[in-house]
Every structure is written in C-alpha cells, then in structure tokens.
Amino acid sequence: MLGIGACRPKRLVSNDEVCEVLDSSDEWIFERSGIRNRRWISGDESARSMAAVAAERAIANSGIDKDKIGALILATGSWRTKIPHGGPIVATDIGLNGIPAYDVAAGCGGFGYGLGIAADAVRAGSAEYVLVVGTETMSVVMDPTDRNTAFIFGDGAGAVLVGPSEENGISPVVWGSDGENSGAIAQNYDIPEYMDRSEEFQHKDPDADPVGRMVVTMEGPRVFRWAAITLPKALTTLLTESGAGPDDIEVFIPHQANARINELMRKNLGFADDLPMANDIENTGNTSAASIPLAMEEMLATGKAKGGQTALLLGFGAGLSYAGAVVTLPPAPAVTSFDDLED
C-alpha cells in the first residue's frame, strides 16, 4: 500500500442526538458498542463525492503519477444504484475514465476483498497500480428507530493505492463466507418484493400494507455469536498463512463494528494490552466497507501507528463474510481526512 486517503462527513452526530428518535441512551449505546459519535452526510455530500475525495488523497499521498493507475475497485454496499455500478463513475470523477473499474459487494469485508484482488492483480501483471476505495452512506439505508442498527452506522470513505514494491507488503488474503447465516444482516425487502408492494399500495389495494423504506436489518446477538466462533479461526489461519506470529504484529486494525468484539479478538490473539489497536469506532461508528481504511488513516494521521509497521487487518459482516491480511502500513498521509474538519 503506497498511499492512503480518506474523507469524513462534516456532520458529527452524538449518541444523544440519535436518541432523540431512538428509544435508547448514550450510556447504553457506549457500553454495548463503544460508540460515542458517528458522522453522517449532509448538504451535497454523498458516497460518490466522498469516494472521489478519498481516492484523490490516496493518489496524492502516494506520490504516484495518476496516469499509471491501471484499475479501480470500489467496495460498497450503499451506492445509490445497482445499475450503473459505482466504480466507473468514481474513476471518471477522478480523471481516469476508461480504466477497468468495478464494484465489490462483500459487506463490511468488502475492503479486504478488494485489497486481496488488487494485490493479486499487481502480482499477476494485470495492472501496475490499483486503487481500492471503500465508500458508504449507511445513514441512508437504515431505520433511525431500529434499536439494532440506528446507533451503529456511520458514513465515510477510505482508499489505498496498491502497487509494486521490493518487499511484499500485503500477505495473501484469508477470506470466507457463511451463507447459512446470511439472513443475520439483510434488507427488509428484496427488490422485486419492494417494487410489487409499492405498486400495490399506489393502486390503493385495500389488502396492501403501507410500504416503508428499504433498509438494513441486523440480528445483533446472532452476528456476535458468529463472530465469536468464526473470527478466531480466521485470525489463526491468517497468521499461519502469512508466516507472521503474534509477536510480529505491531498494529491491530479490525473492522470497526463493535469495540467489545475487537477487544475479545485482541485477547484471543494474546496481544499485549499496549499493542496499538484501532478504535475509530468511538467517533466514526461502523462504516462498513469504508471502516478499515478510515481506521488505518486515523491511526497514521494521529501517530498511533507509523508507516512501515506490520499490521493485522480483518473485516467481517454482511454475507456473512470476512477477509483479512497482514500488511505493511503505508506512509502517514500528508493530506488527511481531518484537514477539512478543523473548523
């Protein structure tokens, strides 16, 4: 990873603000998730605009000529349209119209999937440099009154530029999925059902139910149990496959889904209490496919981690899917996502 960039919405939303419409409290939310604040889009901000900003910053922070970029992978689950997909649009927005650009839909594990694909493309010679972007506007696809989801999710975008180096800086990705438990994180309607119900309601069928928004639903306890069983095995495999032992890991950057899950993983891995571990969730929330690059950028921008250190990454969520790698961190960004939040 030669450069990293990110974009955070300007609007900071506290737990107290969320609880104006949600039957909960700041204390309850923080105790169960580790979240105090999150950022939601406002004004003209969008998944598209944030993706372009994060991508441009990753390129600028890498020092690589933009014309050398041979592909773009966009990890997202909240893009406004299924058709067209977002990758070509983001590529065009940053002046790279014409390159191969496509979306990866793997939920909160999407960035890990994209990173693995990008590294393999560079190794195979399919592209010299590949831009991996994770962007989400989860605030748009959730029900603000749902106690299972409303306090968890935030918005943002993060990106890295992947390219050749003298020493391997991205291990083979360890990934997997569990379709048997896919319903634990899902939409409340599938698309044909939503269209049919909307049509029935518009025609005022007396038997038709009112149609609300299409939103994300989640069975939190079920996801927690799955994570507690699946992720330790994945992490053990990851360390084995990468050849890195626990003592080789200098930074731990798990997906920012739940601070309790992350602390449990740290203990299961036997990491020291003072090992730097990402905690971007506290003021950013769960940003799904954007979570890991945002957390990585925050650690590098604040000096909690340094470029060149060995980090363990693991994303997990909808699918249910997971993907992780042992990586060498990119240099600290000269242009950060906090520069435009100082005011």
* Residues acting as catalytic residues: 108, 255, 286
Sheet of 251-254: strand order equals 174-177, 321-328, 310-317, 251-254
Whole-number Å distance between alpha carbons of 190 and 43: 29
Contact between 217 and 152 (Cβ < 8 Å): no
Nearest-CA neighbor of 284 among 296, 266, 267, 271? 296
**DSSP state for residue 273 in the 8-state scheme:** T
Q: Say if strands 216-218 and 185-187 run parallel, antiparallel, or are unpaired.
A: antiparallel
Instruction: List all residues 6 or more positions away from 10 whose beta carbon is below 8 Å from its beta carbon.
Output: 39, 42, 43, 45, 340, 341
**What is residue 5's three-state secondary structure?**
strand
- Please give the structure tokens belonging to residue 262: 């992350």
Cβ-based neighbours of 290, under 8 Å, separated by 6 or more: 75, 111, 134, 135, 136, 155, 156, 157, 158
